[in-house]
Amino acid sequence: MAEVLKVAMPKGRIYKKASALFRAAGLPIPLDVDETRKLVIPLPEAGMEFILAKPVDVPTYVEYGVADIGIVGKDVLMEEKKDVYELLDLGIARCRMSVIALPDWTPGIRQRVATKYPNVASQYFREQGQQVEVVKLNGSIELAPLIGLADRIVDMVETGQTLRENGLVELNSIFEITSRLIANRVSYRMKNAEIQQLCDRLQQVINAGAQL
């Protein structure tokens, strides 16, 4: 008898795309799971249990083994650096991590960068040989250059619409972002058959999509 896989699923836009991918792989995932107020959702027909979490918390749940596997953006993996296996690039929720500023930005004495991703930003500017002060914010990062808190920001860009509406421009793209399937190291050994079967089914859907 196959064991139940505990899956940490991010709430929001990634969930909708990830659940659609699971359904395309033949897994009976209900359409309205993310609309419930419940945080733990048994899905016996799929052999799974969903743990609905904030995206930034998914790798923590997987690292500590309360979830066997999880779906998380590459941005969170790069920032959090959790001890998990990265199994599969799901190719969904595509965007990029970029350095952003006002159009008239020029390098000055003060180099202050605002971001939700202080580790990513610090590493990037260190590799560029630039000394910057990194300020961590939790929301509305685009506001920082508009009010003079920082001269640049590091943030995710999907369509660029928010940047355009606030008069900001991308200076550099740091790396591309997609959502990844990750696994707890112990679970990957103990539930290898179940996890590998899921990976194979998802990979077939991803490959089929790439050929369209």
Q: Which residue has the tokens 């077939």?
A: 204
Residue 187 — φ and ψ, nearest 5°?
A: -60, -35
Reply yes or no on whether the pLDDT at 94 is more than 90: yes
Query: What would the two tokens of residue 178 be?
Result: 């997609």
Q: What domains can you pick out in the chain, each with its CATH number?
A: 5-93+178-211 (3.40.190.10), 95-176 (3.40.190.10)
What percentage of the chain's residues is helix, strand, coil (to nearest 5)? 40, 30, 35
Its pTM surpasses 0.85: yes
Q: Which residue has the tokens 């350095």?
A: 99
Q: How confident is the model at residue 207 (pLDDT cuts 50, 70, 90)?
A: very high
What are the tens digits of pLDDT across the range 136-194?
A: 999 899 999 999 999 999 999 999 999 999 999 999 999 999 999 999 999 999 999 99
Using the 8-state DSSP alphabet, how is residue 76 labeled? Answer: H
Residue 91 — φ and ψ, nearest 5°?
A: 70, 20
Reply yes or no on whether the pLDDT at 10 is more than 90: yes
Q: For helices 192-211 and 13-24, what crossing angle results, to 10°?
A: 90
Half-sphere exposure (Cβ direction) of 45: Cα atoms closer than 13 Å: 7
